[in-house]
Amino acid sequence: MAVVGYEINWSATAGDPLTRHPLYLKYSSTPLGAVDLNAVKGDLVNCLLDVDSAPVVAYLSWLVRLKGLTA
């Protein structure tokens, strides 16, 4: 898997399929301060918990943690 996570730190490699995922695209062009935490949580609770969704679940979880750090 191309996604690497280390607690709060998260990264994806260049060309990772996650970078084309609709939820990644939804938030990746939005400044953190403008991200709606409830929207992220809403998207997160609708994710299936399987190996295919693991990268986007990790990304959304990272956004939730970052919002918590900056609140």
- Res. 15: pLDDT tops 90: no
- pLDDT(28) > 80: yes
User: For residue 4, what pLDDT band results from cuts at 50, 70 and 90?
Assistant: low
Cα–Cα dist 27/66, whole Å: 13
Q: Cα 37 to chain center, whole Å?
A: 12
3-class SS at 65?
helix
The average pLDDT across 8-30 equals 88
pTM of this structure: 0.84
Which pair of structure tokens corresponds to residue 33? 């301060």
